[in-house]
Amino acid sequence: MMTTPVKPEIQVVYQRPDSFTDLTTHYCPGCTHGIAHRLVAEVIDEMGLREKSIGVAPVGCSVFAYKYFNMDFVEAAHGRAPAMATGIKRVLPKNTVFTYQGDGDLASIGMAEIIHAAARGENITVIFINNAIYGMTGGQMAPTTLPGMKTTSSPFGRDVELSGYPVRMCEILATMEGAGYIVRRSLHDAKHIRQAKKAIRLAFETQERGLGFAMVELLSSCPTNWEINPHEALDFIAERMVPVFPLGDYKVNEELKH
């Protein structure tokens, strides 16, 4: 009996999102910025927001984020992305406006701007990369650096007597009436990356549904400045960072729950 050979169904299951450009990023091997970028691009694609999105890049390692996202972008001064995003969103309320900021940018020099954007309930989405260190300037102590952690500006380990304690942004921002969605996720393994993507999606939905300020904090790695290999860096997130920065939902508007 003759059998017709079955042609395997060929289907593209993984490709570059439309919201990404073709450029190779400048990020170090093992850095999780690439993953965070991709998750944002996938969500914008899936929600069909690319043509109305305006991104605001920060100062820090992701200063060139605008090169990698295939959409309108502006480049803010250090820490001022939420103010710049406010200006854009207030004159273009129908557009989707998001910032992408690191911990030095958002939790140190830009503390006032992020708190007041949340307090005003600005309808913007914030992607917050927390890797507990200043990457671009070469590994200095960040507001999120762990107690005891060695950096170039805390060479004997962060001494809490001298330089205080890590700042927990989700916990702070969750107290703001104007915040619609405040969560912390991690990028240290596949399961957590999938959870991070769901959160990013909800953070953009918060904006599209006009539910106020939304921020997803992503615990991220910096093997270069942590001076450990990429694999160890992922373990460092899980073992050292998560206990200080607990993962979870800090504020979720009721309307997002159904």
Partner 1 sequence: MAKELLKGNEAFAEAAIRAGCEGFFGYPITPSTEFLEHMARRMPQLGRAFVQAESEVAAINMVYGAACAGKRVMTSSSSPGISLMMEGISYIAGTEVPAVIVNVMRGGPGLGNIAPSQGDYYQMVKGGGHGDYFPIVLAPASVQEAIDFISLAFDLAEKYLNIVYVIADGNMGQMMEPAELPPMRELPKEPPAWAVTGAKGRKPNILSSIYINPPDEEVTNIRLVKRWLEIEKNEIRFSEYLMEDAEFAVIGFGTAGRVATTAIRAARQEGIKVGLFRPITLAPFPKEQVAEISRRVKRILVVEMNSGMMLEDVAAAVQGRVPVEFFGRMGGVTPFPDEILDEIRRVAANKRPVNWNARAEWIARLEQIVAEGK
Choose the stretch contacting partner 1; rule: CB under 8 A; options: 6-14, 74-82, 204-212, 243-251. 74-82
Choose the stretch contacting partner 1; rule: CB under 8 A; options: 49-57, 144-152, 164-172, 187-195. 49-57
List 75, 171, 235, 249, residue binding partner 1 (CB under 8 A): 75
Which H or E run includes 35?
helix 33-46
* Residue 6 DSSP one-character state: P
SS3 239: helix
List 42, 47, 120, 256, residue binding partner 1 (CB under 8 A): 120
- C-alpha 78/C-alpha 106 separation (Å) is 9
SS3 96: strand
At 233, which amino acid appears? Answer: A
Q: How far is the CB of 48 from partner 1 (least distance, A)?
A: 12
Q: How far is the CB of 45 from partner 1 (least distance, A)?
A: 13
User: Does the protein bind partner 1 through residue 71 (CB under 8 A)?
Assistant: yes
User: Does the protein bind partner 1 through residue 84 (CB under 8 A)?
Assistant: yes
In terms of CB distance, is 86 or 221 closer to partner 1?
86
User: Does the protein bind partner 1 through residue 132 (CB under 8 A)?
Assistant: no
CB 60 within 8 A of CB 144: no
List 43, 88, 176, 218, residue binding partner 1 (CB under 8 A): 88
Query: How big is the CA angle at 32 (ends 28 and 34), to the nearest 5 degrees?
Result: 80
What does the buried/exposed string (b/e) look like for 201-235 if buried means 16 or more CB atoms within 10 Å of the residue's CB? bbbbbbbeeebbbbbbbbbbbbbbbbebeeeebbe
- C-alpha 16/C-alpha 8 separation (Å) is 23
User: Does the protein bind partner 1 through residue 76 (CB under 8 A)?
Assistant: yes
SS3 138: coil
Choose the stretch contacting partner 1; rule: CB under 8 A; options: 3-11, 39-47, 88-96, 250-258. 88-96
User: Does the protein bind partner 1 through residue 51 (CB under 8 A)?
Assistant: yes
Q: Which residues bind partner 1 (CB under 8 A)?
A: 50-54, 56-57, 63, 66-67, 69-77, 80, 83-88, 90-92, 95, 112-113, 115-116, 120
